[in-house]
């Protein structure tokens, strides 16, 4: 079986003329208006799966019919309309087909679309088989399927493809293929493999190696990479990874990357909410570096940068426009799974992820502000009152950020579990691990707030089959700090 991308099921006449087909029975409106015979519509199943036995196709069609019938009976028209943004996944049963093909098909249709790798399905069939792209995709896809099915044998085969991809990538870097989009994508997928293939014993070493390898490729690609939409998208993808990794490791941005960022400026849309977070993260990196060595940094300067980051986050939060906004669910509609009966509603998990990223930064910096505004013994009463006010506002802001992060949990993590026939999507649930963990590890929130956060992590670990989330929850419950590698899940 070979994944062929999503084909058009329009009639031949509409496909030839490249116009929209309404696929009405017995003839589409376009053909009626043209007074021509409508040839009928293609079966997408036949076009999406090649070289399958009749038995396999029949089994797939039967399962799909049952799924569609169940969905039609149980969902309202509005829910059916929103089904494309569902937080749940359907993992196909063990079909009589090569495991690699099943894994890749599932990966491209169920995992990639809701992740930072949403461009994979579009380019999968366009990349030559000689590039490392196919081997790296197979490695990540099979590691993902191994996790979904809890079959360690599949992971062993995935590691074989991983080794093959590493070898092919090394060869590509020594040839003219080094600057191809597919080579850069291969390196990014290898970093994804490092996350997906991890069990409860987590290390970020492999991830960091691939991310900074991707930076070397950005430098080799030069300014021409910004001339295409995919090139710019890949640059944004790598840039996000580098910035967050540096923030997590409390390391300065590499000079090569800063130079590339300046080179990219004329090509980027800095009105994008994602790109608007970059200056905030850059300042946050500076703060993290100072916090790592408090004895060598000035407390007043740390406080100044923390307040600067908080002000920038506040300004960004108050200027985001639809569709990058959310709703507060009315009290009578709030699900029982919500913490303190408070919940948000988002149009997409990606929008929730952006908001939670901002809130997580605000939670961290307001903890720094609280710590940095301890009243000095020799302070006057006026100074004492001013510091106490700043400290009180910062503590309340941190608690509000924690509440807002948890308010996104019902829609994407807890409420979907009401459908026992499906599981949580690891793609979506993985993006909530870091912000929920930030709440669970905060010293400024209540015990019940931390409990709800760790319980949500346990749910993610169990229902999305992400054992790392369970490990993180257990670390938080025993007072350990898991923050050194949480960024891997947020970015994967």
User: What does the block give as tokens for 415?
Assistant: 């409420």
pLDDT given for residue 67 in this prediction: 42
What are 106-138's pLDDT values in tens digits? Answer: 899 888 888 889 899 888 888 887 789 999 999
DSSP labels, 3-52: B------S-HHHHHHT------SSS-HHHHHHT--------HHHHHB-S-
Decide if pLDDT at 184 tops 90: yes
Q: Is 300 left (phi over 0), alpha (psi -120 to 50) or beta?
A: alpha
Q: Which residues pair with 327 in a beta bridge?
A: 345
SS3 89: strand
Decide if pLDDT at 212 tops 90: no
pLDDT band of residue 390 (cuts 50, 70, 90) is: very high
Q: Exposed, middle or buried, 95 (CB in 10 Å: 0-12/13-18/19+)?
A: buried
- Whole-prediction pTM: 0.78
Q: CA-based diameter of the chain, in Å? A: 91
What are 14-52's pLDDT values in tens digits? Answer: 888 778 787 777 788 888 888 888 877 664 433 433 433
Tell me the domains of the chain and their CATH numbers.
Answer: 1-51 (4.10.240.10), 98-268 (no CATH), 295-417+424-491 (no CATH)
DSSP one-letter code for 333: G
- Residue 83 or residue 401, greater confidence: 401
pLDDT given for residue 409 in this prediction: 97
What are 315-366's pLDDT values in tens digits? Answer: 999 999 999 999 999 999 999 999 999 999 999 999 999 999 999 999 999 9
pLDDT given for residue 63 in this prediction: 44
Tell me the C-alpha distance between 430 and 486, whole Å. 10
Nearest to 237 by CA among 187, 284, 171: 187
- Residue 175 or residue 452, greater confidence: 452
Decide if pLDDT at 465 tops 70: yes
SS3 328: strand
What are 467-484's pLDDT values in tens digits? Answer: 889 989 999 999 988 766
pLDDT given for residue 79 in this prediction: 30
Q: Are 480 and 423 in contact (CB under 8 A)?
A: no
pLDDT given for residue 11 in this prediction: 83
Nearest to 103 by CA among 54, 62, 73, 137: 137
Mean confidence (pLDDT) of the chain: 84
């Amino acid at each position: 079986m070979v994944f062929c991308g999503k084909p058009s099921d329009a009639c031949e006449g509409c496909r030839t003329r490249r116009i929209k087909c309404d696929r009405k029975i017995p003839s589409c409106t376009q053909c009626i208006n043209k007074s021509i015979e409508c040839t009928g519509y293609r079966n997408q199943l036949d076009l999406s799966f090649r070289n399958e036995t009749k038995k396999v196709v029949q089994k797939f069609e039967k399962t799909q019919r049952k799924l569609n019938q169940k969905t039609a009976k149980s969902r309202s028209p509005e829910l059916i309309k929103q089904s494309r943004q569902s937080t749940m996944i359907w993992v196909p049963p063990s079909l009589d087909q090569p495991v690699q093909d099943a894994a890749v098909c599932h990966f491209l249709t169920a995992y990639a679309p809701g992740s930072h790798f949403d461009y994979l399905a579009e380019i999968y069939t366009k990349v030559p088989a000689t590039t490392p792209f196919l081997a790296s995709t197979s490695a990540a896809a099979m590691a993902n399927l191994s996790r979904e099915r809890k079959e360690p044998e599949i992971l062993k085969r995935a590691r074989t493809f991983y080794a093959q991809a590493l070898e092919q990538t090394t060869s590509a870097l020594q040839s003219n293929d080094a600057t191809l989009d597919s080579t850069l994508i291969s390196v990014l997928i290898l970093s994804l493999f490092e996350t997906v293939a991890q069990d409860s014993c987590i290390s970020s070493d492999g991830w960091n190696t691939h991310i900074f390898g991707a930076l070397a490729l950005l430098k080799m690609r030069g300014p021409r990479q910004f001339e295409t939409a995919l090139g710019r998208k890949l640059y944004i993808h790598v840039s996000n990874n580098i910035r967050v990794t540096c923030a997590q490791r409390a390391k300065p941005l590499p000079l090569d990357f800063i130079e590339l960022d300046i080179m990219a400026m004329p090509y980027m849309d800095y009105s994008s909410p994602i790109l608007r977070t970059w200056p905030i993260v850059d300042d946050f990196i500076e703060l993290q570096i100072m916090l790592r060595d408090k004895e060598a940094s000035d407390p007043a300067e740390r406080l100044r940068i923390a307040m600067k980051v908080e002000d920038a986050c506040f300004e960004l939060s108050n200027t985001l426009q639809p569709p990058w906004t959310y709703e507060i669910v009315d009290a009578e509609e709030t699900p029982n799974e919500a913490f303190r009966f408070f919940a948000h509603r988002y149009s997409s998990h990606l929008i929730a992820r952006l908001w939670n990223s901002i809130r997580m930064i605000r939670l961290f910096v307001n903890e720094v502000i609280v710590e940095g505004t301890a009243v000095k013994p020799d302070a006057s009463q006026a100074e004492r009152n001013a510091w106490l006010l700043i400290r009180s506002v910062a503590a309340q802001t941190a608690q509000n950020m924690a509440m807002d992060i948890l308010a996104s949990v019902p829609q994407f993590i807890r409420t979907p579990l009401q459908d026992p026939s499906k599981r949580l999507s690891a793609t979506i649930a993985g993006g909530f691990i870091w912000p929920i963990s930030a709440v669970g590890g905060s010293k400024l929130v209540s015990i019940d707030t931390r409990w709800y956060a760790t319980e949500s992590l346990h749910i993610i670990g169990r229902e999305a089959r992400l054992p790392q989330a369970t490990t993180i929850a257990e670390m938080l419950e025993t007072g350990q700090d898991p923050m050194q590698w949480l960024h891997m899940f947020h970015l994967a």
